[in-house]
Amino acid sequence: MKIPGPLIKGKFIERPNRFLTRVELNGKIVDSHLPDPGRLRELLIVGAELYLRPVPIESERKTRYTTVMVKHNGTLISLMSALPNSFVQESLQHHQLPLLEGYRLEKAEVSLARQRLDFLLKDANQKPFYLEVKSVTLVEDGIAQFPDAVTERGTRHVKALENMVCTGQSAGVLFVCQRPDAQKFRPMHERDPKFAAALKSAMASGVKVWCITTKITLDEMIFQQEIPVYFND
């Protein structure tokens, strides 16, 4: 999937709040919107190389830039938490995700059981399949982990999917690692034990759980591989 540009290289200075980065850009300090509210402490290190997208001139938005990527240990990592949804939607439309081969995209953003889920798919027999997508940026020792901050919303989504499966429907969670350097995935029990427990219960009940890695360049996001999911709590 193409990533809109142009992107401008800057240097991370500080993070005043969850949604704002202060960046040195061409010798000046600018404020840039951060679309990922996660902790990101292992990525947003003083002096880290960031890539920013200028806001269109006609926009009335206060911050004139969006922080799109960070380079960490030579690897580009997306900081756009909504990018995986766009990536999965485009990949489904073009049949580019092997693990979802045989499913057809029916609708995005589906309201069900007081929850808003990301996608409604249908299989070859026209049976509905509900899919939730989660963005992953934390990788340690080759292990992708989610969440890096407590996510009550994520826990509600997983429980809703489990309830659906227990009533005879089909559902799954797809974790999209926005970097290529992970070999396996696990829920981060230490950071959010409620989410980890909910995911483990959902998987045991029949909710499909997948994780894929992607390669990020300044121009595009590319599917790399599916990696195994495990629990070690």
Residues 60 and 171: beta-carbon distance below 8 Å: no
Residues 229 and 185: beta-carbon distance below 8 Å: yes
Q: Which two tokens stand for residue 117?
A: 């889920």
Q: Which two tokens stand for residue 227?
A: 């990696």
Q: How far apart are CA 226 and CA 233, in angstroms?
A: 22
* Residue 135 vs residues 122, 124, 168, 212: alpha-carbon distances, Å: 23, 27, 27, 10
**pLDDT of the residue at 113:** 66
**pLDDT of the residue at 188:** 95
- Residue type, position 11, single letter: K
Per-residue pLDDT tens digits of the chain, which is 233 residues long:
999 989 999 999 999 999 999 999 999 999 999 999 889 999 999 999 999 999 998 888 899 999 999 999 999 999 999 999 999 999 999 999 999 999 999 999 988 767 789 999 999 899 999 999 999 999 999 999 999 989 999 999 999 999 999 999 999 999 999 999 999 999 999 999 999 999 999 999 999 999 999 999 999 999 999 999 999 75
Residues 144 and 213: beta-carbon distance below 8 Å: yes
Q: CATH topology for 8-78?
A: OB fold (Dihydrolipoamide Acetyltransferase, E2P) (2.40.50)
**Start and end residues for every CATH 2.40.50.580 domain found in the chain:** 8-78
**Start and end residues for every CATH 3.40.1350.60 domain found in the chain:** 83-227
Q: How far apart are CA 105 and CA 103, in angstroms?
A: 7
**pLDDT of the residue at 112:** 74
Query: How far, in whole angstroms, is CA 219 from its chain's centroid?
Result: 18
Q: How far apart are CA 144 and CA 31, in angstroms?
A: 29
- CATH no. of 83-227: 3.40.1350.60
Report how many helices (DSSP H) and strands (DSSP E) the chain contains, helices first. Answer: 3, 15
Phi/psi at 45 (5° precision): -105, 140
Rg (CA), the chain: 18
pTM: 0.94
